[in-house]
Structure 1
Amino acid sequence: MGNKEWREYGRTEVIDNTLNPDFVRKFMLDYFFEERQNLRFDLSNEDGTFTICHKTEVVKNTLNPVWQAFKIPVRALCNGDYDSISFVLLPNASQVTLLSFLVDIEVTFLDYIKGGTQINFTVAIDFTASNGNPAQPTSLHYMSPYQLNAYAMALKAVGEIIQDYDSDKMFPALGFGAKLPPDGRVSHEFALNGNPQNPYCTGIDGVMEAYYQSLKSVQLYGPTNFSPVINHVARYAASVKDGSQYFVLLIITDGVISDMAQTKESIVNAASLPMSIIIVGVGPAEFDAMVELDGDEVRISSRGRFAERDIVQFVPFRDYIDRTGNHILSMARLAKDVLAEIPDQFLSYMRTRGIKPSPAPPPYSPPSQPIQTQI
């Protein structure tokens, strides 16, 4: 848990007089895309308790209550073994009748991942002058020898979670709002590694290194335009609509958007693509425009056209800074909230397109007999 304490999830049955117990009881744990989940296994004691699968509402003043229909995951009820389902009468109850039931198969985010859907993660970092001179400690881009700056913390927090869903660990990393060498042209869509033909970096550590190198070579300038990097990722997402790939763009920025109208139009267009956008605001600026882009309360629109679905999640980094200076805890909290909406946004796209997950490949089984080769 966040406070470094452990929470008991359940207990197995007791098996006496063996050093190699074969436990029967299984535990199904809730899976959270946005968190790193640690498990601990301890020896447990017999307590003779039952596992509650579901509690109905209370129906008062009648000896013949009729309860409302309810929904319960099969894994929680019987772990998929329909023959093992049994009903226990409550104390003082004479008969309980099951009127009807329906088994509804509901696919999850993990079903798509197991079926081979690839998550493609792209980073876009704000290099506008409002961040301050990177050589000065007051800059949001300042490279302190003692701790990560806000940009690096946000990138590392989100990237280290999401990189586990990208099989090749190669991430495009872009910058915007800077003057580039050698001619000083302003770019809102440049490769952090200096190679526009191949902007991919190896792992999150590779992205971090490219970010630090860019700070040494480019000149912070402006304005703060989002639409070029959104359109950059949207072009790739538009070419793969069969459910085999899904694209996540992380934008880290400090300021007010300069191309708000164009950004809103880009987001409305991207909402029909297999794509999500995460915006992390760093620094003390007001981020009212970012809240509008988030679209949780009012669906974003452009020129009278509403976005097909909500694909933007915005969080201000300052809300996650731990007062005790624990940056690891700050990063964990940030990643949890930033990534919480991604699975639902992903499923929303797949369901509206009628895309089912591919079957998971069979697990690898080594040959039972050694392979004989005759020479």
Structure 2
Amino acid sequence: MSMNGPCSHLQLHVQCSKLPRKDTLSKSDPFVVIYTFDERNNAFVEYGRTETLSNNHNPDFATGFDLSYFFETTQKLRFDVYDEDTKGGSLQAQDFIGRIDTTLGSIMGEYHGRLTAPLLSKSGKKTKGVITVLAEEAAKSAGVVKFRMRATKVDKKDLFGKSDPYVVISRNLSGSWATVHKTEVVRNTLNPLWAPFEVDLTRLCNGNPETALKFEVFDWDRVGSHDFIGSFETTLAAIQADPHAEHPLINLTKKAKKRSYRNSGVVAFDECTTELRPSFVDYLLGGLQLSCSFAVDFTASNGRQDMPSSLHFNSPAQRSAYATAIEAVGNIIQDYDSDKLFPAFGFGCRLPGQNVTFQLPLNGHYENPMCNGVQGVLGAYYSTLQRVELWGPTNFAPIINITADIAGRHHAAFMGGRAAPTYFILIIITDGVISDMADTMDAVVKASHLPMSIVIIGVGDADFSAMHALDSDDALLESKGVRAERDIVQFVPINQFMSGRAVSGAALARAVLAEIPGQVLQYCRKHNLPAGPRLPPAQPAMAMGSAPAQLQGQASAPPPYSV
């Protein structure tokens, strides 16, 4: 069905309550998957996921979902609630709790856009747990609020220590509180100083500084529920009007039991400033180019490519997961790439009679590894499968260093006024455990100040736990005593988007590229890049001057990496 009429942009927030216990020794670790309905294929496809909240039967998820709302169209939605048993595993590896099927119109038709419904089993029977979906029209606010917070004399909650405080910020949404941000945990202190953080202005208060905000402080516990310390309510306008004010943390339960109770600590803001900034769209309209390159794992653990059990096996009936990933992601990225040229490499393989290479151009040309469009990458991938031996090990550092070299030289050209700005995205598709983890961590940390992101797509059922260490959502990656400037890695296991042997390409592409706009903005803002007038189109990145040093002089011989 066409959706060409006027639309509104909505934010959806998800909460659950009274969820059942799925874990033997603790509470459940819930997360929610939201699906939209694909009319063309008559099936639900994954749209996004919340974060996982450990040991929580009444989760209020900070992750929101942005959707376009078309009044004249039935937009079917599905919300599935799971208990996470295997971090990063497929949905089949998690415990299903329950679901609801609804429409965006039904949510908007509820009082104040608040839909509350009991969870159902897959067969449609009522089960334990309730889900609430809150909808709100998103305001256009191109800015962030920068916070620096501290607290003094918070309550001691740990038997053998002090407390491990963290802050949860919520905003009032039609009479309910919706979580918008959680800070880091500061360990073993009663006087925490939280690291500076930023919250998108739309996310924080939907652009309205008079929106009621609630700040709750909890003591983090490794096992069981986190202990509530205290809270206070205010508004962004009130904080900024009196930036030196102190805010007592009040625990009403404790206050009711103790006459002499004053507070459970005091919170102060060392900074709470609003900064209007260009958006991701502003940078695109200002001339920013996105350049995507691919690195394909050709190690032997994939299985021999002519065997149906191989992860590289392709047939007319079913293409490989590698091919699906290349096409799904490439089709999105190429719209933002003016030259439609993609560097594409293989690693962990060897040509007959030669050493193992970790940077084999899929098109066979070391001086110019560019492939023409997504179909060019696919053609080169299929061709390479016919002429290489799958080998090993699984080394990431060489290909990361090549991309970093290209990104560094191109950024220097941009700063010198010789090229338009370009942001590089390296897509690594792999089936196994990284063999050169220390070198890879070092390469990622060194690349974190450059205009580049790394997306790792995990294929197959291998142990991908090390990938989550690189995808440093909780704390910035460190190597050899140096901390990364920003998080530039995202890991996406392809099994999350599989139904049988088929992969939802659209859902995969959405997950793979979800963090790219935020990472681009982090880089541009960190380096004070203007979203100014459109500059002349960039030269193809690898065509600028000579090829990277790692590839020079190797038109007829593989790079000097061997095992």
> TM-score scaled to structure 1, two decimals?
0.71
2:393 to 223, 237, 240: 223
Q: Counterpart of 1:124 in 2: which secondary structure?
A: strand
1:41-52 aligned at under 5 Å gives the runs none
CA-to-aligned-CA distance 1:161-214 (integer Å, 9 cap, x gap): 111110110000000001124x32210011000111110001111000000000
Q: What CA distance in whole angstroms lies between the structure 2 residues aligned with 1:177 and 1:56? A: 52
Q: What CA distance in whole angstroms lies between the structure 2 residues aligned with 1:346 and 1:192? A: 27
Describe the shift of the 1:355–1:133 C-alpha distance in structure 2 as closer, same or farther (beyond 3 A): same
Q: What CA distance in whole angstroms lies between the structure 1 residues aligned with 2:383 and 2:530? A: 42
Unaligned runs of 5+ in 1: 11-26, 44-50, 60-68, 74-97, 362-375
Q: In proportion to residue count, which structure has more strand?
A: 2
Contact 1:121 1:248 in 2 (8 A): yes
Q: Counterpart of 1:240 in 2: which secondary structure?
A: helix
Unaligned runs of 5+ in 2: 12-46, 49-66, 74-135, 140-170, 176-203, 209-236, 242-272, 536-563
Alignment of 1:126 with 2:303, yes or no, is: no
Describe the shift of the 1:283–1:103 C-alpha distance in structure 2 as closer, same or farther (beyond 3 A): closer
Q: What CA distance in whole angstroms lies between the structure 2 residues aligned with 1:113 and 1:271? A: 21
1:141-290 aligned at under 5 Å gives the runs 141-181=312-352, 183-241=353-411, 242=415, 244-290=421-467
Contact 2:9 2:137 in 1 (8 A): no
Q: Counterpart of 1:134 in 2: which secondary structure?
A: coil
% identical aligned pairs: 45
1:1-375 aligned at under 5 Å gives the runs 10=7, 70-72=205-207, 105-181=276-352, 183-241=353-411, 242=415, 244-323=421-500, 327=503, 330-360=504-534
Q: What CA distance in whole angstroms lies between the structure 2 residues aligned with 1:105 and 1:238? A: 28
Describe the shift of the 1:222–1:9 C-alpha distance in structure 2 as closer, same or farther (beyond 3 A): same
Describe the shift of the 1:42–1:190 C-alpha distance in structure 2 as closer, same or farther (beyond 3 A): same
Q: What CA distance in whole angstroms lies between the structure 2 residues aligned with 1:345 and 1:226? A: 21
Contact 1:292 1:298 in 2 (8 A): no
Q: What CA distance in whole angstroms lies between the structure 1 residues aligned with 2:396 and 2:138? A: 47
Deviation at 1:106, TM superposition (A): 2.4
Q: What CA distance in whole angstroms lies between the structure 2 residues aligned with 1:38 and 1:153? A: 26
Describe the shift of the 1:136–1:348 C-alpha distance in structure 2 as closer, same or farther (beyond 3 A): same
Aligned length: 297
Contact 1:246 1:275 in 2 (8 A): yes
Q: What CA distance in whole angstroms lies between the structure 2 residues aligned with 1:226 and 1:52? A: 43
Describe the shift of the 1:58–1:153 C-alpha distance in structure 2 as closer, same or farther (beyond 3 A): closer
Partner amino acid for 1:313? Q
CA-to-aligned-CA distance 1:111-153 (integer Å, 9 cap, x gap): 1111111111100000001111001001001121212111111
Q: Counterpart of 1:217 in 2: which secondary structure?
A: coil
> TM-score scaled to structure 2, two decimals?
0.48
Deviation at 1:298, TM superposition (A): 2.8
Partner amino acid for 2:349? A
Q: What CA distance in whole angstroms lies between the structure 1 residues aligned with 2:355 and 2:278? A: 48
Describe the shift of the 1:220–1:107 C-alpha distance in structure 2 as closer, same or farther (beyond 3 A): same
Q: What CA distance in whole angstroms lies between the structure 1 residues aligned with 2:207 and 2:507? A: 29
